[in-house]
Structure 1
Amino acid sequence: MQNTNPDHDDAIEAESALRDPKAALRATERLEAAAAEHAALASMVLDDILRIVPEKRAIFTGTLHGQNAVFRLALCDAERRQSAEQWAELSRIYPYMNAGAYRVAEPLFFDEADGITAISHAAGRPLMMHLWSLPRDARLPHIAQSAGWLAQYCAPSTAWRGVDWRNWARRCEKAAAQQHFTRLQNIESKILQKTKKLGRMIKEMEWRVAVCHGDFHPLNLIIAPDETRLTGLDLGSSFLMPIYRDIARYLIYNARRHMWAGDGRRYGVDGAAIDAFADAFAMSADEKRYFIPYMIAVETLTRVESKTEVTTRLNNSVELAEALFEDLRELTL
């Protein structure tokens, strides 16, 4: 039977990483030895290894002080730096998102020198997997949940700033030069021109910025078993940027995998999902008309597909780009 879940291959990769028992043993011994040096980890109990990325990181489940926890062991300097960034962001946002429907994990322990991070375990499963289990017409409430999570995450740091369209145009130009696929090169060159034109149209406006997630998509959200809570993961890419960039990331991530909740496209992505995010952020007419399409175009151009991408995913990306171009052409008349 053909696999209809494009994220299935990611799960296979995670499983294959555990097929090297020697690597698993080395990582476990390294974590236990480092933990022995910290009194705060004296109660740590390891249950299983979720994933090992050789020479980068190992992820474990277990308990700390009797609480279900996830342990991350950095295996190189770059991973230690990334762990420090994630810890800083988690510590910043946790006071705002430690209860209710929209949450982040509780920070439990961190030591940069040893590369150990411990956070609370979020019960449930990745939202993307949950969406695949649902019929199309049952997905939109969970898209709206995602939008609500992001709105709450952005709220403490939201401000209005002038549109920095030239910076984004340069990023798009640089990324366009790295496109590997001829089918996408042709249409994306047209999108780039329309994106620049739209940038000039909005250059005197102000848009909302905030410390955003940075890699916001349904695999980085855990939905609780009772479906009433979302917990966000992987906060290390968080930085100040227009809020529409995280929204565009989510929308394009879904569209490239043919994950739909509504019945029609708008700017190449799910029109109903656009409306869900616009409602969650109480967006103005200008934000909906100009800024969301602009960042969808930016995300399309800067999120370059891998050389090894499968044909189905590539076809989805071409369909997205062609539909995006048609709507941008009408918008920029």
Structure 2
Amino acid sequence: MPHFLPEPARPFTPQNRSAVLLLNLGTPEAPTAQAVRPYLHDFLSDPRVVELPKLLWQPILRGLVLTFRPKKSAHGYQKVWLPEGSPLAVFTERQAAALAKALPDVAVCHAMTYGEPAVKRIIAELKAQGINQLLVLPLYPQYAASSTGAALDKVFEVLLQQRNQMSIRTITRFYNDAGYIAAMKQQIEAYWAEHGRGDKLMLSFHGIPQANEDKGDPYSYECRQTATLLAAALGLSENDYIVSFQSRFGKAKWIEPSTQTLFDELPKQGITKLDVFCPGFVSDCLETMEEIAITGREQFHAAGGTQYHYIPCLNTNEAWLEALTSLARQHLQGWM
């Protein structure tokens, strides 16, 4: 196979056509162990996700992990799967559709770092449409090498094979974007107005290994900056909220404090009514709907908690869709 891919077969006419590509993590095609296995293989084989030597990690992955974890993960997906499909896929597609409606002069599409729709295929389709200016927006507010970095790697791999390369812009983070903060404020306050408010608000972000932070990953700093801005917008004092990190994997030390550990500890400290929101996820998914909304509730109540409210992610919140549009417009300046 040649290193450079042939260009689409169409007359060459210089033009400036722009597109926005939304990127998210990915999801299995079905809530079954058979479908989860190849998805997990791709995800956990990425050196951005697991920074271990290939010769050490691959035997563990192919042996223990891919033998037992697909069935467990599939069980979790079965609890949250929507009639239209995976929650992450459904909400990401809806966000892309809303952005396309708001930006009629720009092509808007979405792709997944792992699984379908694949980055390589979507960019090839854009190329065939004559798109030569691409704004890439990973849907991760806070930058982490294992999420945003991995997503952008997929895009750059495609560009490395293009003979006539697209112009490209990337949005690597938007953790302090005013529209994003305002949308979360609106989402939380609307939930409180309808369901009441607990003793404390937990802001649970996805975790990363401590070693990643020690090597310079800015993720936890950006998470805490988001939390500080959101708390200020909500008028919360330091005693009103707590920042935590979820979704640990493996035996290595991860950044603290652990969401799951706090579920056990907070009732013992007198915090028996807890609200949980996940600012690092703009779409509900397995990690929010199963790990936090379902399993987290069970764990908190088992530890002595009396009231547990999970506040859904932004999903198709109108304020968030407006913020997403504003963010795209800002970075498209000069292209449209």
TM-score (norm 1): 0.29
Q: Which has the higher strand share?
A: 1
Using the size of structure 2 for normalisation, the TM-score is 0.29
